[in-house]
């Protein structure tokens, strides 16, 4: 069976192989090959001359990559004609479609799937409104249109996979069959991680340094690191200076450094740059509290990974974040958020940190790879059987 998989994701072409920065590695694409055998990925592409360790191989047997030209800027909008021809041709030759939303390419492929009577399944991996509203001024103009468009597409779909347990289901309900199945799937758990964390917490002394950490691009403002930095500045005015904030992630550090200077906490904010994925867990084991302050999310992999290292954590009231953490460790996306972050940080004692370490580790176990992949496989098989029958 031939399936088209469509999303706005950028795949990087190096020589004759394709690579991914993010969540669509060859390991992830294998889940579609296992069910449908023949997979055509329609997406954006970019050719590169140098291969870096930030990219993961996406090319695997059974997957073909089809590039879509950039049609989303004013200067290149004329390429929408070429885009439509490519997408319609691929959809026409396929047996079915899997479209990830929100995405422009995903929306276009659904249009042609309906036109050519091809069965389709939608994966809702984020909030169209949040992704655009928090992106830019232009995004704020587009957000209402994309929100209602995504809402209608999901509502009319016969099969829908949501990455959250509740948030996206409520915002983008469907009349069809649905399942909650996170794209975050952790491979292994070791209870020694929890023991080590509890020992680390138990050995903390009265006014010892407490290290907060966040993994996210440092040049994307909706990631929210500036709010934690400002909170440190407010605490410093109260004479509380035993917090250090470590930021892991690539990008231009200029803006966040200016925030640290403005609130006089440059000595408390450390930029560590990009860390290879293989070493992120080692870094997580060195910090004391994890922060997920972003204003746009689906279900954040970084937070679940931190919880799997038994890290006490807190985050913003955004998308799937409140599904992962207890209410007292969630701060609002309002002007009160700085005060709320300060209060949360001050609420962490050795006792509460130990409780949250145990609780978060147990919660992260729900994202065991084998459990999630088995549920997803059954849903995909149901979709496939509905086509064959």
177 and 293 belong to one structural domain: no
What is the model's pLDDT at position 23?
Answer: 79
Task: Using pLDDT thresholds of 50, 70 and 90, give the confidence band for residue 183.
Answer: confident
13 and 157 belong to one structural domain: yes
Residue 18 resides in a domain: yes
Q: Are 181 and 163 in contact (CB under 8 A)?
A: yes
What is the number of domains present in the chain? 2
Residue 389 resides in a domain: no
Note the Cα 188 to chain centre separation in Å.
20
Which tokens is 225 given?
């690191």
259 and 118 belong to one structural domain: no
Backbone angles phi, psi at 120, to 5 degrees: -145, 150
296 and 170 belong to one structural domain: no
161 and 201 belong to one structural domain: no
pLDDT per residue as tens digits for the range 301-322: 899 999 999 999 999 999 899 9
Dihedral sign, CA of 258, 261, 262, 265?
Answer: positive
199 and 133 belong to one structural domain: no
pLDDT per residue as tens digits for the range 93-109: 999 999 999 999 999 99
Residue percentage of the chain with pLDDT more than 70: 99
285 and 362 belong to one structural domain: yes
What is the model's pLDDT at position 186?
Answer: 83
Q: What is the pLDDT of the chain when averaged over all its residues?
A: 93
Residue range 59-79: average pLDDT? 86
What is the model's pLDDT at position 79?
Answer: 85
What is the model's pLDDT at position 187?
Answer: 76
Residue 53 resides in a domain: yes
Residue 59 resides in a domain: yes
CATH of the domain at 235: 3.40.50.2000
Q: Is the pLDDT of residue 260 over 90?
A: yes
What is the model's pLDDT at position 54?
Answer: 79
Q: Which domain holds residue 11?
A: 2-185+369-383
162 and 303 belong to one structural domain: no
198 and 303 belong to one structural domain: yes
Residue 55 resides in a domain: yes
CA distance 87 to 67: 10
345 and 209 belong to one structural domain: yes
275 and 317 belong to one structural domain: yes
Residue 208 resides in a domain: yes
Residue 273 resides in a domain: yes
Tell me how far apart the 2 most distant CA atoms of the chain are, in Å. 69
| Per-position b or e across 265-295, b if 16+ CB within 10 A of its CB | beebbebeebbeeeebeeebeebbbbbbbbb
Contacts of 168 (CB under 8 A, 6+ apart): 124, 126, 127, 162, 298, 319, 320
Residue range 64-91: average pLDDT? 88
Length of the chain: 389
Residue percentage of the chain with pLDDT more than 90: 80
Top mean pLDDT of 136-145, 273-282, 380-389 is at: 380-389
164 and 233 belong to one structural domain: no
Q: Are 215 and 311 in contact (CB under 8 A)?
A: no
pTM: 0.83
Note the Cα 213 to chain centre separation in Å.
17
Residue carrying structure tokens 């200076």: 241
Residue 388 resides in a domain: no
Residue carrying structure tokens 């002394």: 205
Q: Is the pLDDT of residue 73 over 80?
A: no
DSSP 328: G
H helix or E strand, kind and range, residue 272: strand 269-273
């Amino acid at each position: 069976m031939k399936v088209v998989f469509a999303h706005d994701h950028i795949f990087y072409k190096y020589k004759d192989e394709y690579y991914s920065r993010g969540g669509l590695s060859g390991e992830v694409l294998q889940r579609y090959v296992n069910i449908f055998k023949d997979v055509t990925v329609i997406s954006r592409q970019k050719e590169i001359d140098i291969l870096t360790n930030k990219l993961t191989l996406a090319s695997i047997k059974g997957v073909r990559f089809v590039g879509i030209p950039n049609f989303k800027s004013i200067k290149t909008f004329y390429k929408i004609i070429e885009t439509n021809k490519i997408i319609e041709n691929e959809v026409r030759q396929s047996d079915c479609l899997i479209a990830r939303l929100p995405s422009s390419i995903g929306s276009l492929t659904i249009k042609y799937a309906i036109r050519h009577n091809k069965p389709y399944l939608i994966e809702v991996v984020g909030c169209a409104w949040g992704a655009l509203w928090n992106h830019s001024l232009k995004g704020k103009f587009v957000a209402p249109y994309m929100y209602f468009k995504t809402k209608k597409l999901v509502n009319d779909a016969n099969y829908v996979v949501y990455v959250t347990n509740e948030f996206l289901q409520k915002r983008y309900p469907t009349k069809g069959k649905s399942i909650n199945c996170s794209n975050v799937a952790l491979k292994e758990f070791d209870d020694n991680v929890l023991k080590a964390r509890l020992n680390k917490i138990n050995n903390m002394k009265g006014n010892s340094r407490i290290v907060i950490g966040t993994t996210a691009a440092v040049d994307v403002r909706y990631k929210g690191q500036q709010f934690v930095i400002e909170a440190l500045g407010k605490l410093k005015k109260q004479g509380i200076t035993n917090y250090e904030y470590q930021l892991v992630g690539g990008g231009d550090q200029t803006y966040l450094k200016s925030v640290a200077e403005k609130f006089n906490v440059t000595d408390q904010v450390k930029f560590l740059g990009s860390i290879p994925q293989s070493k992120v867990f080692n870094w997580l084991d060195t910090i004391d509290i994890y922060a997920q302050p972003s204003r746009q999310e689906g279900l954040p992999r970084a937070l679940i990974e931190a919880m799997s290292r038994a890290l006490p954590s807190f985050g913003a009231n955004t998308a799937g974040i409140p599904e992962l953490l207890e209410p007292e460790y969630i701060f609002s996306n309002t002007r009160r958020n700085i005060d709320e972050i300060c209060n949360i940080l001050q609420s962490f004692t050795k006792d509460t940190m130990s409780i949250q370490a145990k609780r978060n580790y147990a919660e992260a176990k729900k994202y065991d790879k084998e459990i999630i992949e088995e549920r997803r496989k059954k849903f995909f098989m149901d979709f496939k059987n509905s086509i064959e029958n």
